[in-house]
């Protein structure tokens, strides 16, 4: 493999000069610069990123750890961070914790071994300090899609309680008095917060807690949604509305019930969460709480960059917590046609 030494020899200069051509071309005379570039082309030289990293002490990559790379919500979030990172000349390594705390820890160790420049991650567990490894290694990180104490870290999240409230009030306003809540694994903070918002809306409306019917699901995906839909059909009396912890579940629920001849929205109103592209693309477009994925990704990357290179190095870094407001996007799945 051809290295900087070979280039130097070929061009008849020292290695330091070649390095200067690459990194501070203005300090090198025109003629030498040309000679070095000619040698580089001739030999097909490519810088070794690992050697640069070793010297620099850290890589030029960010890590992004999400709970499900198959969920379009996270795919969009990842695109947002990649965009911002690319503008700063940084790459992004996206990893999938698959909602497993063990996998999460594994990837975080990997990130430390790689000496990543910074990390964005959506923690799985709702308690404990999953980021300890990063702390010890002094790797800046931003918590994504979940708010944490600003004494701990920067974070970018959306207000899930508010979002759950939006969904709840929307359904209550339409006259529904018995609402199913289809939720994924209970250890996820987001899932609990959304229910909390729904519960408050129900309370505001002066209804008892039995206005909410919990339907647990194994995972947060379409097939779990189909199972949940089947269970929903078995309930008696059947709820007239269903709120799902995310859009994938809602799509699954809607499919099963639609198949069984239940008319959406007339017999059953359905509201999802996240507003992924497929919510809008459904044949009966899905009402959903818009969770601004791309913006979360972009803002979080921005905060991370600020933590990596403070614009004002004098005063130390102050953690920032951004909480975005979700919006209800009303579509046909919850609004009977006149």
Partner DNA sequence: CGGTGTGAGTGAAACGATTCATACCGCCGT
Partner DNA sequence: ACGGCGGTATGAATCGTTTCACTCACACCG
Binding site partner of 15, from a copy of itself, DNA, none, Cβ cut-off 5-8 A by kind: DNA
What's the closest the beta carbon of residue 112 comes to DNA, in angstroms? 11
Residue 338: is it exposed, middle or buried by C-beta count within 10 angstroms (0-12/13-18/19+)? exposed
Q: Please, what is the minimum distance in Å from the beta carbon of residue 107 to a copy of itself?
A: 9
Q: Which is nearer to DNA, 57 or 234 (CB)?
A: 57
CB of 62 to DNA, least distance (A): 20
- In angstroms, the CA 286 to CA 277 distance is 10
Residue 222 CB, nearest approach to a copy of itself (Å): 5
259-286 per-residue burial string, b: 16 or more CB within 10 A, e: under 16: eeebebbeebbbbbbbbbebbeebeeeb
For residues 39 to 58, the per-residue mask of contacts with a copy of itself, x marking binding by CB under 8 A and - elsewhere, is -----x-xxxxxx-xx--x-
Q: How far is the CB of 56 from DNA (least distance, A)?
A: 7
Candidate residues 168, 197, 239, 252; the one interacting with a copy of itself per rule CB under 8 A: 252
Footprint of a copy of itself on 155-194 (CB under 8 A): none
The tokens of 250 are what?
Answer: 């809602």
Q: How many angstroms separate the CA atoms of 30 and 10, rounded? A: 17
Backbone angles phi, psi at 95, to 5 degrees: -130, 160
Q: Which stretch binds a copy of itself (CB under 8 A): 110-118, 119-127, 180-188, 321-329?
A: 110-118
Q: Does 82 bind a copy of itself (CB under 8 A)?
A: yes
Q: Residue 19 binds which one of a copy of itself, DNA, none, with CB within 5 to 8 A depending on kind? A: DNA
- The one of DNA, a copy of itself, none whose footprint includes residue 150, by CB under 5 to 8 A per kind, is none
Q: With binding defined as CB under 8 A, does residue 59 bind a copy of itself? A: yes
Mark residues 135-154: x for contact with a copy of itself by CB under 8 A, - for none: -xxx----------------
Q: Does 329 bind a copy of itself (CB under 8 A)?
A: no
Site for DNA, rule CB under 7 A: 1, 3-5, 13-20, 22-23, 27-29, 31-32, 45-48, 51-52, 54-57
Least distance from C-beta 316 to DNA, angstroms? 23
Question: Which of a copy of itself, DNA, none does 114 bind, CB closer than 5 to 8 A by kind?
Answer: a copy of itself
- Contact between 277 and a copy of itself (CB under 8 A)? yes
If one asks whether residue 38 binds a copy of itself (CB under 8 A), the answer comes out as: no
| 94 in contact with a copy of itself (CB under 8 A) | yes
Judge whether 275 and 246 are in contact, CB under 8 Å. Answer: no
CB of 121 to DNA, least distance (A): 23
CB 142 within 8 A of CB 92: no
To DNA, the closest distance from the beta carbon of 13 in angstroms equals 4
Residues making contact with a copy of itself (CB under 8 A): 1, 44, 46-51, 53-54, 57, 59, 69-70, 72, 75-76, 78-79, 82, 91, 93-94, 96, 109-110, 112-115, 133, 136-138, 222, 251-252, 254-255, 258, 277-278, 281-285
């Amino acid at each position: 493999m051809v290295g900087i030494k070979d280039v130097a020899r070929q061009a008849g200069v020292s290695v330091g000069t070649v390095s200067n051509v690459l990194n501070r071309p203005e300090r090198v005379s025109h003629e030498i610069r040309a000679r070095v570039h000619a040698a580089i082309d001739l030999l097909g030289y490519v810088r070794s990123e690992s050697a640069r990293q070793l010297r620099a002490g850290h890589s030029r990559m960010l890590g992004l750890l999400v709970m499900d790379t198959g969920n379009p919500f996270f795919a969009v979030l990842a695109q947002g961070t990649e965009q911002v990172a690319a503008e700063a000349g940084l790459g992004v390594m996206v990893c999938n914790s698959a909602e497993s705390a063990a996998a999460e820890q594994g990837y975080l160790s990997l990130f430390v071994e790689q000496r990543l420049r910074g990390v964005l991650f959506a923690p799985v567990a709702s308690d404990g300090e999953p980021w300890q490894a990063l702390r010890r290694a002094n790797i800046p990180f931003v918590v994504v899609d979940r708010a944490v104490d600003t004494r701990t870290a920067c974070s970018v999240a959306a207000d899930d309680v508010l979002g759950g409230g939006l969904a709840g009030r929307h359904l209550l306003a339409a006259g529904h008095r018995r609402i199913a809540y289809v939720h994924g694994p209970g250890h996820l903070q987001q899932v609990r917060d959304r229910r909390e918002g729904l519960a408050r809306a129900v309370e505001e409306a002066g209804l008892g807690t039995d206005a909410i019917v919990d339907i647990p699901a194994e995972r947060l995906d379409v097939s779990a949604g189909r199972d949940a839909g089947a269970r929903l059909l078995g309930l008696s009396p059947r709820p007239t509305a269903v709120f799902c912890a995310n859009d994938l579940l809602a799509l699954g629920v809607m499919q099963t019930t639609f198949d069984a001849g239940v008319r959406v929205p007339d017999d059953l109103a359905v509201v999802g969460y996240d507003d992924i592209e497929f919510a809008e693309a459904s044949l009966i477009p899905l009402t959903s709480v818009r969770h601004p994925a791309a913006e979360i990704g972009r803002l979080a990357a921005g905060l991370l960059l600020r933590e990596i290179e403070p614009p004002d190095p004098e005063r130390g870094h102050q953690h920032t917590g951004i909480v975005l407001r979700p919006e209800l996007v009303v579509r046909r799945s919850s609004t009977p046609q006149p």
